[in-house]
A and B are shown apart, each in its own frame.
Chain A
């Protein structure tokens, strides 16, 4: 079996230091919508300068290089045990080269492992066997600030006091809790953010799916027309909240919303929201016919 450690190390470097074009494009559009001289516009201009600098110098866009979440789609015959070892080796090397911050902390002792490994759950790796000869590895680096403002609602959901929030088990209810989550996050998740939303599942599968959907492209359209409409409406309405870049106030609170659904139990109706910061670091590597390509 081919050793892909070097190629995976490059995937990590690219993800941490080079923001994808589709994300940079929407950030550039957002600058134009903010008032000249406003703090919100200033924040976006700083963000774009930082994106260019990180790419040119090959340094992390954000110091919180987050949880590395890998999705590996492998052809029959590859060993997931060996692939895991290669990914772990690449992650440790990327940490030594300062592409990643040492981020793996023992929850009981508080000790940082120093190399982003530890306990078998760090980094996060999902494996799925696929047909054909092509091996694909997708990586997202998800920082702690935005992970902390993620939320899961069990519908029906209502707030007893304060906001008039009554959300039922339908898309109208989904809309309400998603808006509540964006309001609650304020600028804490490094707005402008991108939402990954999963409707249904159990608590675990629902959160998983809310992260998987973040691998979609910024400008794609949901094949389900009802969800496509809701994605657009939620982004527009969230931007009416006026939270703005960094929570400074302004028109750009969300850059986009991506929604997926999965089957649920009759008794359960979860809505899971993963908030991704503007430093939307996700990349893909393909290994086919002995050659690697990145996007």
Chain B
């Protein structure tokens, strides 16, 4: 299986096609609902004033995100009391909730990819063509297995968002994913949805 190291260059991103299984290694960050809203409100649309902490975190995460991927994940973490953090369970969460934000976040931080589950829509697909980037689909619910690919928790930002919603910086080795949206406008999710719609129409016309 093809192995890819983070950060990823544009040539590698463009070589990835829908359906291709990949093992990812390197440093990435988790971020989900609260993080995407915070990024867009504070730094992209600027509808709220950043606090000193917001600005500090922003400067710290920019180089981490540049050329890397964001992982839609709210992990189970051990060692919260001692800060010797360890990922116990860390599968993907449903990505479509970030659809209103993702394209802007990809462009702003030069994100080359998103890891999640369930796929995303037309706006994210357009950003994948532009940046360029891809959508990596992890297996939903495979939380113990994926946690084993997390070698180390390097740090955490905005833990006040709560454990699932914080930004966890992790180093992974051979994290298994499948490309389901690529930089050329291909989307496995659009194909499956269209096919299932045709079948549903037939089924609904039967008694």
Write the residues of chain A forming the contact surface with B, with a CB cutoff of 8 angstroms: 39, 42-43, 46-47, 49-50, 53-54, 57, 59-65, 98, 100-103, 105, 110-112, 114, 143-145, 148, 163-165, 172, 176, 179-180, 183, 186-188, 190, 237, 240-244, 246-249, 277-279
Contacts and interface: CB of A to CB of B under 8 A. Distances in A.
5 contacts: A39-B188, A60-B88, A145-B94, A188-B117, A242-B192
A112 B139 contact: no
A242 B142 CA distance: 22
A163 B204 contact: yes
Contacts of B162: 102, 105, 110-112, 114
A101 B140 contact: no
Given A98-B78, A163-B200, A188 B96 contact: yes
Given A165-B204, A179-B204, A246-B137, A61 B196 contact: no
Interface stretch (B39-47, B54-62, B69-77): B69-77
B170 to A, nearest CB: 13
A187 B189 contact: yes
Nearest to B162: A112
A218 B192 CA distance: 27
Interface in B91-129: 91, 93-94, 96, 117-119
Contact of A246 (B139, B148, B197, B201): B139
Given A39-B21, A59-B144, A172-B207, A248 B200 contact: no
B67 interface: no
Nearest to A247: B192
Contacts of B94: 144-145, 148, 188
- Shortest 7 CB-CB distances between A and B: which pairs? A112-B162, A190-B140, A60-B89, A63-B89, A50-B145, A50-B142, A188-B118
Given A63-B90, A240-B199, A248-B178, A103 B147 contact: no
Interface of B: 19, 21, 34, 73-78, 88-91, 93-94, 96, 117-119, 137, 139-145, 147-148, 161-165, 176, 178, 180, 188-189, 191-193, 195-197, 199-201, 203-205, 207
A59 B188 contact: no
A56 to B, nearest CB: 9
Contact of B201 (A57, A163, A187): A163
Contacts of A100: 76
A81 B174 CA distance: 49
Contacts of B178: 39, 42, 248
Nearest to A249: B192
A183 B191 contact: no
Given A98-B89, A277-B140, 5 more contacts: A114-B163, A187-B118, A187-B192, A190-B140, A249-B195
Contacts of B195: 242, 249
Contacts, number: 174
B139 A47 contact: yes
A145 B201 contact: no
Contacts of A248: 137, 178, 180, 188, 192
B144 A247 contact: no
Contacts of A111: 162
A67 to B, nearest CB: 13
Contacts of A190: 117, 140-141
A111 B139 CA distance: 28
A183 B73 contact: no
B73 A237 contact: no
A60 B143 CA distance: 7
Most chain A beta-carbon neighbours within 10 Å: one of B77, B196, B205: B196
Contacts of A114: 162-163
A186 B187 CA distance: 14
Nearest to A244: B192
B88 A59 contact: yes
B165 to A, nearest CB: 7
Contacts of A188: 94, 96, 117-118
Contacts of A145: 93-94, 117-118, 140
